[in-house]
């Protein structure tokens, strides 16, 4: 059993407090020495995220020593993600996380959170969050494309061009209209993602931004990190022209290998990626949710 590998320390003296900026060093030291770490910060480094951490964040202390941390992301449409969870070595995760989660559940209603999502990047979290009421909800699947062939697609209805700096607000509107909770991204997340992207292009019709894609480069290819289309234009080929244009742009740079993540339940997006020769590569991550 996982619990058997942990030394049972006195948990009665553990206290949980709201995280504040002056505790950043204590939390970073905890992260540096702990093995039980769940990190799902997407576009942010831990230090950056702690600089301006959302209100749903707590630290567990035993005396003056930080022994646990739980941070939920800012709620969007009633949903929040478990972004950071840490338990100090030598402490039973079920005890420390239990204290932290008890504090979290008491605060969810005040922030209008109806659902908390957990991306299981590391399997160690599952046996500890399931007893809290988390259940399997979906699967994030990864698809990969390595073909150099690009389908011949033309469209006179939609135009694709690079994003202009003053158009981020329109892109944020498209993204938040396109995705349901918990898959939405906040404005801060989109701005951060755009600042780190290798390519951000928009699809327009009569000058109106109706879709966009955001991609990054890594050591042996590119990753399509986000593709969103306004709901009223979905199913009309906007995603097709965005993806086709992206493949052409990267081919000019000698980049042909691509990856993309999507939900197992998002059949429409999988059809689009299959059309462009993306195939599942077996790297799938479960998503669990807690319903208030």
In the chain, alpha helices (H): 24-33, 46-51, 93-108, 126-129, 168-178, 187-196, 238-251, 267-275
Query: Do residues 120 and 286 make contact, with C-beta atoms less than 8 angstroms apart?
Result: yes
Q: What is the pLDDT along the chain (292 residues), one digit of tens a residue?
A: 344 444 555 667 899 999 999 999 999 999 999 999 999 999 999 999 999 888 999 999 999 999 999 999 999 999 999 999 999 999 999 999 999 999 999 999 999 999 999 999 999 999 999 999 999 999 999 999 999 999 988 878 999 999 999 999 999 999 999 999 999 999 999 999 999 999 999 999 999 999 999 999 998 899 999 999 999 999 999 999 999 999 999 999 999 999 999 999 999 999 999 999 999 999 999 999 999 9
Structure tokens at 59: 């630290």
Question: Residue 2 has what pLDDT?
Answer: 43
- For the structural domain made of 3-133, what CATH number should be given? 3.40.630.30
Question: Residue 53 has what pLDDT?
Answer: 84
| Nearest in space to 240 (alpha carbons), one of 145, 155, 170 | 155
Q: What string of DSSP letters covers 9-74?
A: ---TTEEEEE--GGGHHHHHHHHHH-SEEEE--TTS-HHHHHHT--SSEEEEEETTEEEEEEEEPP
Question: Residue 1 has what pLDDT?
Answer: 36
pTM: 0.92
Question: Residue 264 has what pLDDT?
Answer: 97
Q: Distance between CA atoms of 185 and 231, rounded to whole angstroms? A: 16
Question: Residue 11 has what pLDDT?
Answer: 65
Query: Do residues 223 and 260 make contact, with C-beta atoms less than 8 angstroms apart?
Result: yes
Domain with CATH 3.40.630.30 in the chain: 3-133, 142-285
Question: Residue 203 has what pLDDT?
Answer: 98
Question: Residue 9 has what pLDDT?
Answer: 58
- Tell me: cis bond preceding 182? Omega within 30 of 0 counts: yes
Structure tokens at 212: 């966009």
Question: Residue 13 has what pLDDT?
Answer: 85
Query: 142-285 sits in which CATH class?
Result: alpha beta
């Amino acid at each position: 059993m996982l619990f058997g590998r942990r030394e049972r320390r006195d948990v009665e003296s553990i206290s949980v407090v709201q995280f504040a900026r002056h505790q950043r060093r204590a939390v970073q030291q905890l992260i540096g020495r702990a093995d039980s770490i769940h990190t799902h910060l997407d576009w942010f480094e831990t230090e950056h995220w702690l600089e301006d951490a959302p209100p749903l964040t707590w630290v567990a202390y035993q005396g003056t020593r930080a022994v646990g941390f739980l941070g939920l992301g800012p709620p969007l449409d009633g949903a929040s993600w478990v972004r950071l969870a840490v338990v100090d070595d030598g402490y039973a995760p079920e005890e420390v996380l239990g204290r932290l989660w008890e504090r979290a559940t008491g605060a969810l209603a005040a922030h209008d959170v109806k659902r908390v999502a957990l991306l299981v990047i590391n399997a160690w979290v599952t046996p500890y969050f399931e007893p809290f009421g988390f259940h399997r909800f979906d699967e994030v699947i990864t698809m990969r494309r390595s073909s150099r062939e690009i389908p011949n697609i033309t469209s006179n209805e939609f135009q694709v061009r690079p994003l202009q700096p003053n158009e981020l607000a329109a892109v944020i509107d498209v993204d938040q209209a396109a995705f349901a909770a918990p898959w939405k991204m906040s404005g801060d997340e989109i701005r951060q993602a755009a600042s780190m992207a290798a390519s951000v292009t928009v699809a327009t019709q009569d000058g109106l931004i109706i879709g966009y894609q955001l991609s990054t480069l890594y050591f042996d290819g590119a990753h399509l990190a986000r593709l969103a289309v306004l709901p009223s234009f979905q199913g009309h080929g906007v995603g097709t022209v965005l993806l086709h244009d992206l493949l052409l742009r990267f081919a000019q740079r000698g980049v042909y290998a691509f990856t993309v993540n999507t939900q197992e339940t998002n059949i429409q997006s999988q059809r689009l990626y299959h059309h462009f020769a993306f195939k599942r590569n077996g790297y799938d991550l479960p998503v669990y949710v807690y319903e208030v």
